[in-house]
A and B are shown apart, each in its own frame.
Chain A
Amino acid sequence: MADSSKPRPVYRNIHITQILSYRLPLAGIVSILHRVSGVIMFLLLPLVIWLFDTSLTSEISYERFTSAFIAGIGFVPAALVKLAVLGLIWGYLHHFVAGVRHLWMDATHSVTQAHGRSSAVLTFAISLPLTLAFGAKLFGLY
C-alpha cells in the first residue's frame, strides 16, 4: 500500500477564537453569521416571549409593551431595548434567508463555488436592506 504514506486531508472546525484571523469567503461569512444570529436569538428568547406576553395578554399589558420602546423595561433604558430588538430583527432576517438558502442547496444541490458566492450575495442583498428598513422604523426615522 504505497498510498498509506500520503497525508490524509484534515478537516476541522474554525474555533471561535480564530474566526477573526481567517479571511472567509462570502459564503463562509453567511455561514458563521447564521450561527451567530441563531445564538443571539437563543439568548434573547426571554425578551421575545416577554414582548409576545405583554403585547397579547391584555390592553393594560399592551401599554407596558408599547412603553418598553419609549420608557424602557424597569432599569433597562428604551435605547437598549431597541438595540436588542434591532439585533433580533437582523438575526431573524439573516437566519431566515440563510436558512432558505440552505434548503435551496439541499433541494437543488447547487453547491458549486460560484453558486455559493452568488447565493451569499443574494442573502445579504435581502437581509440587510430589510434590516435597515425595519430598524429605521424601530428608531422612528419614518
Chain B
Amino acid sequence: MSNNFGSKRLVVGAHYGLRDWLAQRITAVLMALFTLVLVVQLLLPGPLGYDRWAGIFSVQWMKFLTFVVILSLAWHAWIGMRDIWMDYVKPVGIRLALHVFSILWLVGCAGWAVQVLWRL
C-alpha cells in the first residue's frame, strides 16, 4: 500500500481479471491434456466395450486426473459464462439471476460427475 498514490496508485479494485484469465488458461491446458490422455487410451488396440471403457476410469491415477478435470471444467465454464453475461446482459437483477443460475448449474453438474466417478 505504500506505493498507492500518484502515478503508481491502484485504479482497479478486485484484481480478479488477471487471476481469472490465468485460471481459464491453466484449466484449459489441464482439460486438453486430459483429452490427449483419454484419446491415447482409446486408441490402444482391442475392442472397445463396457469393460475397457470402465477400466480406463477405475484406475486410481485416472480418477485423480478426472476429478481435477471436473473441477477445472466447472471453474473454466464459470469464468466464460460470467464473461458472457457481463458482456451482453446489462440489467443488474437479471445478470445476478443468471450468475446464480450458472453457479448452481455448474456446482450441481460437477457434483453429479464426481458421484459417477467415485462410484466406480
Chain A residues with CB under 8 Å of chain B are: 13, 15-16, 35, 38-39, 41-42, 45-46, 49, 52-53, 55-57, 59, 62, 96, 99-100, 102-103, 106
Give B53-67 interface residues, CB cut-off 8 Å to A. Answer: 53-54, 57
The verdict on B81 contacting chain A, using a C-beta distance below 8 Å, is: yes
Does B96 count as interface, using CB distance less than 8 angstroms?
no
Can you name the residue of chain A whose Cβ is closest to the Cβ of B115?
Answer: A53
Residues of A within 8 A of B119 (CB): 56-57
Given contacts A56-B54, A56-B57, A103-B25, contact A16 B88 (CB under 8 A): yes
How far is it, in angstroms, between the C-alpha of A52 and the C-alpha of B118 when the chains are bound? 12
Contacts of A102 in B (CB 8 A): 25, 28
- Interface membership of B40, Cβ < 8 A: no
Over the window 79-120 of chain B, the binary record of Cβ atoms lying under 8 Å from chain A Cβ atoms (1 yes, 0 no) is 011001001100000000000001001100100110010011
Asked whether, in the complex, the Cβ of B88 is within 8 Å of the Cβ of A15, the reply is yes
The answer to whether residues A106 and B84 also contact, given A57-B116, A59-B50 and a CB cut-off of 8 A, is no
Is B116 a contact partner of A56 (Cβ separation < 8 A)? Answer: yes
Contact A46 B109 (CB under 8 A): yes
Decide if B116 touches A42 in the complex (CB within 8 Å): no
Residues of A within 8 A of B88 (CB): 13, 15-16
Question: Would B25 and A55 count as touching, CB distance under 8 A?
Answer: no
Question: Is A45's CB under 8 angstroms from B109's CB?
Answer: yes
Cβ-neighbour of B113 out of A41, A49, A100 (below 8 A): A49
CB distance from A19 to the nearest CB of B (A): 10
Q: A13 near B25 (CB under 8 angstroms)?
A: no
A sample of 6 more A-B contacts (CB under 8 A), given A38-B77, A45-B105, A57-B116, is A13-B88, A46-B112, A52-B116, A56-B53, A62-B50, A96-B32
Distance A5 CA – B69 CA, assembled complex (angstroms): 52
Residues on B with C-beta less than 8 A from A106 are: 25
Question: In the complex, A59→B49 CA distance in Å?
Answer: 10
Q: A16-B88, A62-B50, A99-B32 are in contact. Are A53 and B81 (CB under 8 A)?
A: no
12 CB < 8 A contacts A-B: A13-B87, A35-B80, A38-B81, A45-B109, A49-B113, A52-B113, A53-B112, A56-B57, A56-B119, A99-B28, A103-B28, A106-B25
